[in-house]
Structure 1
Amino acid sequence: MSIIQNLFAISPYIALFITLALGYLVGKITIGRFVLGGVAGTLLMGVIIGQFGVQIDPGVKTIFFALFIYAVGYQGGPQFFGALNFKTINILLSAVVMTVTGLITVLVAAKLFNLDSGTAAGLAAGGLTQSAIIGTAGDAIAKLGGVTEEAKSLMQTNVAVGYAVTYIFGSLGPILMVSWLIPTFMKWDIREEALKLADEMSDGKPELAPGEFNAMTDLVSRAYKLSPESKLIGRDIQAINGDLLDVAIEMISRDGQSVEIDKTVVLQAGDILVVTGRRQAIAGHVESAHSEVALPEGTVLIEENRQLVANDKQLIGKSLAQIKAETNLDTYRGIYVTDVIRGGHSQHITADFVVKKDDIIQLTGSAKDINRIEKNIGKRLVSVFSTDYVLFGLGMVAGLLIGLINFKIAGIPVTIGSGAGCLISGLFVGWLRSRKPNMGSLPLGASNFLRDFGLAVFVGIVGLQAGPQAIDTIKEHGLTLLFLGVGVTIIPQIISFFISYYVLKIKNPIEALACVAGGRSANPGFAALLEKAGNATPVFAFTVTYAIANVLLTLWGPIIVGIISSS
């Protein structure tokens, strides 16, 4: 044992990564419908491995949680601001119900079991996983009148004791509630419900799971043989393509030979035209009523999808048809529009669609032809695989600075904290990216890694730090305080869920579960819900309730001390 302790003392990060590996291994264990999950598994393994006395700089936990919550905000930013409406009121009330129920549960427990102010405040801090209560309650105890300094010191020590004993289940309880107990009771499949909600929020476009793809591709190529009666005979290729918007003639085969296309090529009877474009548009254009023929085996047509950000002042406010007519004069083959994205959402393409500033216009065609007109439309969208480290760094700085903001409510100091600060900045940068596509790029793979790895490290360190103190305190004080912590953790969640679902009419399963996690600022519980959902759909409800819970739960410290001390 001493060898392991010495190893962990020399390199505590070995213990951290062992915790992560074993935690996610344990998290894969399935018993019936119950799957513990990597987050809960890591927390439990952290408590066990923490018995070796692992010491890790608390700043590591802070920065990895900041990365996690920033990535969560970034992914949910467009949805968050797009979803703000009157239903937010019910979600806000859900957070109030959760926090007030938590306060009442703590006060009842303190009354029934004759807890002093310090122990009761510690019970609230750990059972409701709001560490800020330790500070606000400690300050309130220090200002109590008619109490000896020795009694104040004892109560302040009991705040830490109550927190240490109850914090582990305070973190684990919401994980079990939102990822297993409530969904099992309500017969909800979290992933299925998350996909439904994502579908509703994406205008009917389904979210694809890993390995899935849409077999109905957006772009298709079809070949048609010109009949002698065709109206296209005798017309040159540039004139024909100039009349088309979302499809184009890209190849011509004549007498079994491919014809080198330039703007002077004139169509003849018997020519086989290869038409490329959007699936929904191609059927209504170019000889679709005549004979379709099979493409010769081995036919190759190399094209490029290029996204351009509309910023040419001369084009803003004009229709797609006008833009194409003005910019597509010297192309040999056709350049056609395959997508227009505004505010992160694809738009319905028509010739009359009016382009606004910062719309993303996706053009398809040969690279040579697109190069000719690119400068007439706007800047090329930066690669979706590169990260804008400038805005990422500034976003993190802004989040950490916001977290330093503190103010007083009724004389009680409240600090926003780095978690809430980075969530706010992440939401803003994610929203900014949807409005200004060339700013703030953070690829999905990169943001997913920051989110998942940041969370894993945060939860692992929580377990490593809380484990030794919790075990020692349980030995000293028995199991009473531990069971009270279980009650403070579970009871408010149950009451709040049923009030939110049946009274406040928050009927969407994902939003209802996110309200449970956010209403008690349960970051590990939210992370477990994200893990089960597999997408960012819980972000909106969690963000709103998390913000309210952070303020109200912080206020409960002095209120608990004041009520119990005066009773």
Structure 2
Amino acid sequence: MDFLRHLFANQPLIALFATIAIGYLVGRIKVGSFVLGGVAGTLLVGVIIGQLGVNIDPGIKTIFFALFIYAVGFQGGPQFFHALNLRSLNQLVSAFVMCFTGLLCVIAGAWMFGLDRGMAAGLAAGGLTQSAILGTAGDAISKLGLSPAITKTMQTNVAVGYAVCYIFGSLGPIIMVTWFFPMIMKWDIRKEAVKLAKELSGGKAELEPGQFNAVNDIITRVYEVTRDRTAIGRTTLELDRQFSDASVEGVFRAGKMVEMNDTTTIELGDAVAMTGRLDAFKLSDTVFGREIASPPGFSIVEENRGIILTNRVLSGRQISEIHDHATIDTRHGVFLTAAKRMGRDLPLLSKLQLKTGDELHFTGSPSDLDRVQSKIGYKISAAVVTDFIFFGLGMIVGTLIGMLAFKIWGVPISIGSGGGCLLSGLLFGWLRSVHPRFAALPIGASTFLRDFGLAVFVGVVGIGAGPQALTAIEHYGVTLLLLGVAVTLIPQIVTFFFSYFVLRIKNPIEALSCVAGGRSANPAFAALLAKAGNGTPVVSFTVTYAVANVFLTLWGPVIVGIITKNAGP
């Protein structure tokens, strides 16, 4: 033990990285379907290692939290601003009701049981499972002008409250979304998900997990053009119009590939490669002739390409509507294979509404994809590098916003650099979605900043809280645990019935998704996805999740401003 104490005193970064590594290892341990998660694991391990008296420069915590919260805002910016419209109004209101009810529960609990500012903020962070409150509340506490001892105690209490309340804060939404609400409403989640998917797909049946619809797979087949077939003398574009959801991708003639364009004419004896969905090949034998194996030297170069949707004309429109209104001259040879929103796979169904910032994946030849890309948005490329000019500007703007102070009902509020960087990230993320030439921050880079920034921040918080954490837990433990249960459950119950009866969110999958998203409860969402067996919960979850991430994060300084009790020295 003395060796570790000496090592950590001389090299505190070793203590930090040991906290992160062990914390994420602990976070992987499963108890039934419950997983603690790397963030909570890191905090708990940090508290233990902090008992050795490790001192880490608090500037590290500030920098990495700013990077984390900016990345969160940047990734959620397009979806957050898109949610601010009439189409998503009921889901937007549902998310705000969840966040606001949670805030009221925290304030009421703090006043009734005499919690100080730090412990109240920790109650919010753990009970509402929003790790970002650790940073925004801690930042707000540091600006109160109190003595270093009191400031340190309250910042420790934020971490303690989070640690005590987090486990049920994470488990509670899973219970409510996958068992309690479906039980009292007599809903079968799987049946409701199948029903919703059938509606969104225009009546097509939803398959069970492990099954797949081979008819919808994109395939390539080769046909030999024989005598008296209708393809002879016709151009490739004319054939594409006839097949609609299949296209001519290559022509092999007299032992070599034909340089092909839309006016290339098919001749007797040609080997023609068709690419498309299986159900589009019904007339192939009549049009071309018999199917054959690919001739030696016959190759078709196709590409899988991701494109970010930025064309506002397409935003809010259904996949089937876009498909039916696009001319064959535009869409031939290009096939939509997947869609993602905020990093989550969307159910690729005909009535799915696409939104600005969605990530669409297509298969087709490079030239065909180039044609379609110009009408949709910009290409997701591994070659894209971070635009450090706009990244630096974004961090500057966020820090400046954090310096602003204002009053709500006479209560002084300052959102701090954390809240400022969140708002700045939202703004620059939205800017990137509508003006692709600016503010590039590749998804891999932003995800690393988000995850590593939070890991470092929580590790430093845990280590710093170590010496005082046990005392605070001993003093507040049972009371705080019960308050955490109330803060976890009450907002969900209020919001569910308000959304169902007032906002008229009647669809079971959408109603449950709004509860999980309004809590920004990723474990509950994962459990709901598993119960649903398909991707139907994703659409409603992403809207409410984006909104909740903003408001819950901003509650940190609001709680510190409203609660007036300070911790003892």
Q: Structure 1 length normalisation: TM-score?
A: 0.69
Q: Which residue of 1 aligns with 2:321?
A: none
Matched residue pairs, number?
492
Change (3 A) 1:70 1:212: farther
For 1:23, give the aligned amino acid. Answer: G
Q: Once the 2 structures are TM-superposed, how far is the Cα of residue 17 of structure 1 from its aligned partner?
A: 0.8
2:101 is aligned, of 97, 113, 128, to 97
Q: How does 1:152-551 map to 2 (within 5 A)?
A: 161=153, 164=156, 166-184=157-175, 186-187=177-178, 219-235=218-234, 247-253=246-252, 257-258=255-256, 260-261=258-259, 267-276=266-275, 278-279=276-277, 282-283=280-281, 291-296=289-294, 299-304=298-303, 321=327, 336-338=333-335, 364-365=364-365, 381=379, 383-390=381-388, 391-471=390-470, 473-474=471-472, 479-505=474-500, 508-516=511-519, 537=542, 539-546=545-552, 549-550=555-556
- Partner deviation per Cα, 1:324-352 (whole Å, 9 max, x = no partner): 6xxxxxxxxx9844459999899999xxx
Q: Once the 2 structures are TM-superposed, how far is the Cα of residue 262 of structure 1 from its aligned partner?
A: 5.7
Q: Once the 2 structures are TM-superposed, how far is the Cα of residue 376 of structure 1 from its aligned partner?
A: 9.8
Is contact 2:120-2:158 (8 Å) kept?
no
Q: Once the 2 structures are TM-superposed, how far is the Cα of residue 162 of structure 1 from its aligned partner?
A: 5.9
Q: Which residue of 1 aligns with 2:113?
A: 109
Q: Which residue of 1 aligns with 2:205?
A: none
Larger radius of gyration: 1
Change (3 A) 1:287 1:395: farther
Q: Which residue of 1 aligns with 2:535?
A: none
For 2:46, give the aligned amino acid. Answer: G
Change (3 A) 1:379 1:216: same
Q: Once the 2 structures are TM-superposed, how far is the Cα of residue 515 of structure 1 from its aligned partner?
A: 3.6
Once the two structures are overlaid, the 10-residue window that deviates more, 395-404 or 3-12, is 395-404
Change (3 A) 1:68 1:500: same
Is contact 2:244-2:280 (8 Å) kept?
no
Is contact 1:178-1:513 (8 Å) kept?
no
Once the two structures are overlaid, the 10-residue window that deviates more, 127-136 or 47-56, is 127-136
Q: Alignment partner of 2:251: what SS?
A: strand
Q: Once the 2 structures are TM-superposed, how far is the Cα of residue 548 of structure 1 from its aligned partner?
A: 5.8
Q: Once the 2 structures are TM-superposed, how far is the Cα of residue 302 of structure 1 from its aligned partner?
A: 2.1
Distance 2:234 2:241 in 1: 12
Distance 2:376 2:551 in 1: 40
Distance 1:395 1:511 in 2: 30
Distance 1:76 1:376 in 2: 24
Change (3 A) 1:445 1:162: closer
1:127 is aligned, of 123, 126, 134, to 123
- Partner deviation per Cα, 1:86-110 (whole Å, 9 max, x = no partner): 3322332322222222222222223
Is contact 1:133-1:556 (8 Å) kept?
no
For 2:10, give the aligned amino acid. Answer: I
Q: Which residue of 2 aligns with 1:3?
A: 3
- Partner deviation per Cα, 1:405-452 (whole Å, 9 max, x = no partner): 222234432112233223223333333333334444433333332222
Q: Once the 2 structures are TM-superposed, how far is the Cα of residue 280 of structure 1 from its aligned partner?
A: 6.8
Distance 1:430 1:213 in 2: 35
Change (3 A) 1:246 1:307: farther
Q: Once the 2 structures are TM-superposed, how far is the Cα of residue 309 of structure 1 from its aligned partner?
A: 9.8
Distance 1:382 1:31 in 2: 38
Q: Which residue of 1 aligns with 2:129?
A: none
Q: Alignment partner of 1:268: what SS?
A: coil
Q: Alignment partner of 2:232: what SS?
A: coil
- Partner deviation per Cα, 1:283-309 (whole Å, 9 max, x = no partner): 378766554403337642224467899
Is contact 2:46-2:459 (8 Å) kept?
yes
Change (3 A) 1:125 1:59: same
Change (3 A) 1:28 1:141: closer
Q: Structure 2 length normalisation: TM-score?
A: 0.68
Is contact 2:23-2:39 (8 Å) kept?
yes
Q: Alignment partner of 1:434: what SS?
A: helix
Gaps of 5+ in 2: 126-132, 181-188, 203-209, 312-324, 351-355, 530-537
1:28 aligns to 2:23 (yes or no): no
How well do the aligned residues superpose, as a CA RMSD in angstroms? 5.1
- Partner deviation per Cα, 1:167-188 (whole Å, 9 max, x = no partner): 3342124531343234136546
Is contact 2:252-2:258 (8 Å) kept?
no
Distance 1:58 1:22 in 2: 21
Is contact 2:419-2:554 (8 Å) kept?
no
Q: Which residue of 2 aligns with 1:75?
A: 75
Is contact 1:179-1:532 (8 Å) kept?
no
Change (3 A) 1:122 1:420: closer
Is contact 1:175-1:529 (8 Å) kept?
no
Q: Once the 2 structures are TM-superposed, how far is the Cα of residue 136 of structure 1 from its aligned partner?
A: 7.8
Change (3 A) 1:247 1:39: same
- Partner deviation per Cα, 1:475-516 (whole Å, 9 max, x = no partner): xxx933344333443332232222222344487445424544
Distance 1:435 1:174 in 2: 40
Q: Alignment partner of 2:467: what SS?
A: helix
Q: Once the 2 structures are TM-superposed, how far is the Cα of residue 23 of structure 1 from its aligned partner?
A: 0.9
For 1:93, give the aligned amino acid. Answer: V
- Partner deviation per Cα, 1:433-473 (whole Å, 9 max, x = no partner): 333344444333333322222221121111111111223x4
Q: Once the 2 structures are TM-superposed, how far is the Cα of residue 126 of structure 1 from its aligned partner?
A: 4.1
